[in-house]
Structure 1
Amino acid sequence: MGRCRGGLFGVALLATTIGFAARAQPRQVNGVLGGSVLLSPLLPRNKTVKEIEWSFSAGAGATIQVAEFGPGGFKRPDPKDRFKERLEMFNATALKIRALERGDSGVYGARIKLHPALVEDQSFNLSVYEPLPEPGIRSWLLSKSPAWCHLLLECHLPSRTGGTVAWMRGWGEPGGVRVRALCGGVLQVGVQPGSPNTTLTCRAWRALEERRRSIHLASVCWNGGDGVRPGRWTVVAAGMLLAAYAARLEFPKVPPWHRPQ
């Protein structure tokens, strides 16, 4: 029983330490240009908040006080600062920022004063991104015969977008289509003429945003839909294909996919 109590005490101490560490480190919050975010402090149980002072700093710039929550309600020390009418008191403790701008990225501090005489500091690191664009799809026609059409596909987002991409397929096995994931958002694809369900979809997501774009493989292979797009990947694509042929590799079965949500 003594060991059990000692173990429980250790777990409780670890949980408390993790809780303090989590509050000491800025919590990451992501926002979209023109949208809104909510900064909500973590409050200790059974404690009453007297007031909260909100501050903002960007990079090496000065820290400014932007809002106060207290017995007198919501106050703005300088209503003419960069936020103007875009800040509001969402509830007794949470700060809402509307119509986000690029310059809103930075660290927001919350100095929380609790009854009777406790003070706790928490902070939020806000990153404001451009709206997530539709992912781009590049296609290269590597070879074509009456039996098979071989393609290289790349799904991508512009640099510094901060999103993630992955290829998806519909429900069921895409008959007559063989796919091999090479690296990142690059696929090596084989398609047979007349195959049903030859559509592949690229999914891009970031935080609460998601965009999708599809490509029709049959159109690229036989109808000239998306066509051949030469570029910086052309030499890489050729090298990958030649390496596969040299090793006499076959297209494996479809690897794990992201299914539509």
Structure 2
Amino acid sequence: MAVGLVMVLLFIVQAWAQHDPAQVVGAVHGVAYLSPRLQNQTYPQIHWRRNSSLKIASRDSSAKVQYPNSTYKGRLELFPNNTLKISSLQKNDSSTYQVYLEDEAGKEHIETILLTVYDLVPKPVVNVKVIRDDPMRCEANLECSVELEGVTYEWINPSKILLAHVGDSEQRVSFNPSIETYICKVSNPVSSNSTLLTYRHPCSWTGESSAAASRTTTSVLVAVGLLLLLTLA
């Protein structure tokens, strides 16, 4: 009984694996190639669909190729090996695509490919919040951000060793007076970008993309509060 159950479960797992769609990633304005696994066999008729319903490309037995959907006008190319090329990618091209391969006996083989289109990562914006500022030690939070979802953050020190809290957009640092450079690297599956932050004694910071990185200190906030109290008095 147990052996029979194991065999059934194994069959289900294998069947699921066979139907697990291939995955392709692309960048906005870039190119994606959707390639079927079966390319060593000739199929008299094939066609590509989006979400199993919208036909976007086809080739009949006379080798005539058609692209019936205007949304992809001028952006598709169907190759002899049944690979579909999509150019000038847009974010809304992200979807599941099916290729229907029909042999001479009329039997149809279907493959599914998942396409995900990503924006290129822009240059990160960096910001510094100083926590402790005295002649012997500078302690600060280094902040890094981009206006994109689905990205990962890395903070790298001058020796190219990853700092703590890998994947966080914020990194706390503490060190003795010296000149140090830190790199914020932001990545997604198709691109990455980075920005440098340079520290100089006693606790000043210069960002690569600006004359000076934004900075907030506890002492400045306290001074502003005292000034308001004196004004009110």
TM-score (norm 2): 0.73
Deviation (angstroms), 1:69: 3.3
Question: 1-side partners of 2:161 and 2:23: how far apart?
Answer: 39
In structure 2, the partner of 1:167 is 155
If each structure's strand is expressed as a fraction of its own residues, which one has the higher value?
A: 2
Residues 75 and 228 (structure 1 numbering): CA distance in 2 closer, same or farther, change over 3 Å?
same
Which letter does structure 1 place at the counterpart of 2:62?
G
In structure 2, the partner of 1:228 is 215
Question: 2-side partners of 1:21 and 1:41: how far apart?
Answer: 18
Kindly report the root-mean-square deviation, in angstroms, between the aligned alpha carbons of the 2 structures. 3.4
Deviation (angstroms), 1:67: 0.8
Residues 183 and 219 (structure 1 numbering): CA distance in 2 closer, same or farther, change over 3 Å?
farther
In structure 2, the partner of 1:256 is none
Contact in 2 for aligned 1:220/1:226 (Cα 8 Å): no
Residues 47 and 189 (structure 1 numbering): CA distance in 2 closer, same or farther, change over 3 Å?
same
In structure 2, the partner of 1:42 is 37
Question: 2-side partners of 1:106 and 1:98: how far apart?
Answer: 15
Question: 2-side partners of 1:32 and 1:201: how far apart?
Answer: 24
Which deviations, in whole Å up to 9, do the C-alpha atoms of 1:22-41 show, x marking residues without a partner? 44233333222211111111
Question: 1-side partners of 2:136 and 2:23: how far apart?
Answer: 52
Aligned residue pairs, count = 207
Which letter does structure 2 place at the counterpart of 1:130?
D
In structure 1, the partner of 2:72 is 83
Question: 2-side partners of 1:202 and 1:208: how far apart?
Answer: 17
- Counterpart of 1:73 (choices 43, 51, 63) is 63
Deviation (angstroms), 1:140: 0.5
Structure 2 residue 58 is the aligned partner of structure 1 residue 64: no
- Counterpart of 1:201 (choices 176, 183, 186) is 183
Deviation (angstroms), 1:134: 1.7
Q: Which runs of 5+ in 1 are unaligned?
A: 1-9, 235-261
In structure 1, the partner of 2:230 is none
Which deviations, in whole Å up to 9, do the C-alpha atoms of 1:160-209 show, x marking residues without a partner? 3x2211112343789xxxx65397232110132234xx111111111231
Structure 2 residue 131 is the aligned partner of structure 1 residue 149: no
Question: 1-side partners of 2:189 and 2:166: how far apart?
Answer: 26
Structure 2 residue 120 is the aligned partner of structure 1 residue 127: no
TM-score (norm 1): 0.66
Question: 1-side partners of 2:104 and 2:112: how far apart?
Answer: 20
Please give the secondary structure, in 2, of the residue aligned with 1:29. Answer: strand
**Percent of matched pairs sharing the same residue:** 23
Question: 2-side partners of 1:107 and 1:48: how far apart?
Answer: 24
Deviation (angstroms), 1:43: 1.6
Question: 1-side partners of 2:59 and 2:155: how far apart?
Answer: 46
In structure 2, the partner of 1:186 is 170
